[in-house]
């Protein structure tokens, strides 16, 4: 267990500079977005009121109040979230291929450590998942601060004040990354874990069989996708499931595919990937 924890800490430390940069970009960009977009909205509102000779009450009647949704839908707000998602998806591949193609082919030293190769596999998966949760936690922490800054900059007469829960529900991206219920959390992040384990296994196919492994990895990803989406495809074909039944099927298939992918990927790493 201690070796596994050390490996997780090692993997996180290797990505720490980029990870901290992502956090800093998110912080600066989103707070800048609050200030810039709020100022733009207020300027537009004042111009309209001046041109059409509207009172604040008449402006709200005609155009609606100003709320945080304007901020949450701006590029400065959602851009860093998308950047973090893309960076971590890219890191799913980098966390393995960096060890093979880096300056010192570190994978040889890593695979010869006196520990189970399963620990190496799980440490890489765990580090990515922990970094995902870290980004989400950081967003949850700064969102109330951003909302408070927005509320303080908008005149009360023009403001439609929103609670944090309302903001997260109203914005599709926030509602996806910060599920409002435990069931949604299981589904969203369970799917994320499943996809990561499938991609890890595809990488192990490629590392084990090279060119043939690329084809095998793509086939494995395709078969896994079809199996997981089978209940949804059946519904499209007029085969109806109750919501609880559909959730149960997706959860069961997700657990099976994740377990199979972890087992197969670890088996390939142990038996087919050589130093």
pLDDT, tens digit, for every residue of 239-255? 777 888 888 888 899 99
- Any idea of the CA torsion for 217, 19, 100, 191, to the nearest 10 degrees? -20
The answer for residues whose C-beta is within 8 angstroms of residue 100's C-beta and 6 or more apart is 107, 207
CB 208 within 8 A of CB 111: no
CB 256 within 8 A of CB 237: no
Token duo for residue 165: 């829960």
CB 201 within 8 A of CB 261: yes
d(CA 201, CA 121): 10
* Residue matched to tokens 């190769």: 117
Give the model's confidence band at 116: pLDDT under 50 very low, under 70 low, under 90 confident, else very high: confident
Q: Tell me what pLDDT residue 131 has.
A: 95
Give the model's confidence band at 149: pLDDT under 50 very low, under 70 low, under 90 confident, else very high: very high
The answer for residues whose C-beta is within 8 angstroms of residue 172's C-beta and 6 or more apart is none
Q: What is the pTM of this model?
A: 0.88
State the sign of the Cα–Cα–Cα–Cα dihedral 176, 179, 182, 183: negative
Q: Tell me what pLDDT residue 275 has.
A: 59
What residues does 66 pair with on adjacent strands? 159
State the sign of the Cα–Cα–Cα–Cα dihedral 96, 15, 81, 101: negative
Q: Tell me what pLDDT residue 2 has.
A: 79
Q: Tell me what pLDDT residue 102 has.
A: 65
What mean pLDDT is predicted for residues 181-185?
83
What mean pLDDT is predicted for residues 36-54?
92
The number of beta carbons lying within 10 Å of the beta carbon of residue 199 is 20
Q: Tell me what pLDDT residue 224 has.
A: 96
Q: For residue 99, which of 85, 113, 116 has the smallest C-alpha distance?
A: 113
CB 207 within 8 A of CB 273: yes
Q: Give percent above pLDDT 90 in the chain.
A: 60
What mean pLDDT is predicted for residues 257-269?
94
Compute the mean pLDDT over every residue in the chain, rounded to the nearest whole number: 90
Whether 225 has a pLDDT exceeding 90, the answer reads: yes
Q: Tell me what pLDDT residue 105 has.
A: 67
d(CA 180, CA 188): 11
Q: For residue 71, which of 61, 81, 83 has the smallest C-alpha distance?
A: 81
Q: Tell me what pLDDT residue 113 has.
A: 76
Whether 103 has a pLDDT exceeding 70, the answer reads: no
Q: Tell me what pLDDT residue 104 has.
A: 61
3-state secondary structure of 160: coil
Q: Tell me what pLDDT residue 69 has.
A: 93
What mean pLDDT is predicted for residues 156-165?
91
Residue 66 gets which letter from DSSP? B
Whether 18 has a pLDDT exceeding 80, the answer reads: yes
Give the model's confidence band at 143: pLDDT under 50 very low, under 70 low, under 90 confident, else very high: very high
Q: Tell me what pLDDT residue 238 has.
A: 72
The number of beta carbons lying within 10 Å of the beta carbon of residue 95 is 20
Distances in whole angstroms, Cα of residue 255 to Cα of each of 12, 17, 197, 199, 228: 25, 33, 11, 15, 10
pLDDT (tens digit per residue) in 62-82: 888 999 999 999 999 999 999
What mean pLDDT is predicted for residues 85-107?
83
3-state secondary structure of 43: helix
């Amino acid at each position: 267990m201690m070796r596994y924890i050390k490996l997780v800490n090692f993997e996180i430390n290797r990505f720490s500079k980029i990870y901290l940069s992502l956090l800093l970009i998110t912080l600066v960009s989103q707070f800048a977005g609050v200030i810039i977009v709020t100022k733009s909205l207020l300027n537009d509102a004042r111009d309209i009121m001046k041109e059409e000779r509207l009172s604040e009450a008449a402006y709200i009647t005609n155009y609606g109040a100003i709320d945080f949704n304007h901020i949450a839908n701006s590029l400065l707000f959602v851009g860093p979230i998308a950047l973090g998602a893309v960076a971590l998806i890219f890191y799913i591949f980098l966390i393995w291929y960096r060890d093979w193609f880096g300056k010192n082919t570190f994978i040889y030293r890593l695979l010869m450590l006196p520990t189970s190769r399963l620990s190496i596999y799980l440490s890489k998966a765990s580090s990515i998942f922990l970094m995902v949760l870290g980004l989400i936690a950081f967003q949850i922490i700064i969102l109330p601060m951003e909302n408070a800054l927005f509320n303080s900059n908008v005149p009360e007469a023009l403001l439609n004040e929103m609670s944090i829960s309302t903001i997260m529900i109203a914005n599709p991206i926030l509602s996806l990354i910060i599920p409002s219920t435990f069931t949604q959390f299981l589904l969203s992040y369970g799917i994320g874990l499943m996809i990561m384990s499938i991609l890890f296994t595809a990488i192990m196919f490629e590392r084990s069989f090279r060119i043939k492994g690329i084809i095998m990895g793509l086939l494995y990803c395709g078969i896994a996708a079809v199996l997981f989406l089978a209940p949804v495809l059946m519904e499209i074909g007029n085969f109806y499931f109750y919501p609880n039944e559909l959730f149960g099927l997706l959860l069961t298939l997700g657990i099976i595919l994740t377990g199979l992918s972890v087992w197969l990927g670890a088996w390939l790493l142990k038996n087919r990937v050589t130093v």
